[in-house]
Homo-oligomer: A and B are copies of this chain.
Amino acid sequence: MISTAEIKWVRSLHEKKFREREGAFIVEGEKLVGEALESGFEVLKHWRRDDIGENAMSRISCLSSPSPALAVLRCRPEAPLPAPGGLCLALDGIRDPGNFGTLLRIADWFGIGAVFASPDCAELYNPKVVQATMGAVFRKEVHYAPLERICAKWRDAGLPVFGTFLDGENIYRADLPADALVVAGSEGSGISAAVSALVSGRLTIPAFGSNGAESLNVAAATAVVLSEFRRR
């Protein structure tokens, strides 16, 4: 069963303002809710369609076709910023929730140490982000911070900061160390000027089509870059 007050509460969590006020977020889908229950995140409530009915489920769901399971989880308090080291990823102005979630999923696959996000990135607990992470949201912490500060810390520690640009060094021939911060910029505007100024290694994924292809999407480009770092 689900009460009217609970329906109202879950619906409020569709909005960022209420997610922040309540410190809670929504997870949907058989598989994702299953992972949520095992994740170590505090589960505040969860419902199955079979228990509360199609109608109630469609009222609390964020999806156009409501899934059979929905859980409300407590947001994790932000962890302190980790010290520079290892292979880490910084997301610069990734506003699109689908891209942001997919990038977390890629970071998870490639075993990235820490993920940093500029304050203008999508919100980690946005339901579309959570959905796109395919569970990486439970495994990867995201540190929201001005990337200028993060990059400066890495540079101060003598560690390199990499970004992809159209005029960088061919990534297949570049020297890619084990400790590095990789910055992924937004599709529309790329890496911001302030962050670009702190990049020590400019990389390019060569285009093999000579027919006008202008860019890879940010998730594909980041997957290729992280694959190259990990391959070495």
Interface positions of A (Cβ within 8 A of B): 35, 98, 102, 105-106, 108-112, 134-136, 139, 172, 205-217, 219-224, 227-228, 230-231
Contacts and interface: CB of A to CB of B under 8 A. Distances in A.
A213 B133 CA distance: 10
Nearest to A230: B208
A111 B228 CA distance: 19
Contact of A139 (B139, B209, B227): B209
A209 B110 contact: yes
A213 B108 contact: yes
Given A205-B227, A208-B230, A211-B139, A109 B219 contact: no
Contacts of A111: 207-211, 213
Given A134-B214, A215-B134, A223-B216, A108 B209 contact: yes
Contacts of A110: 207-209
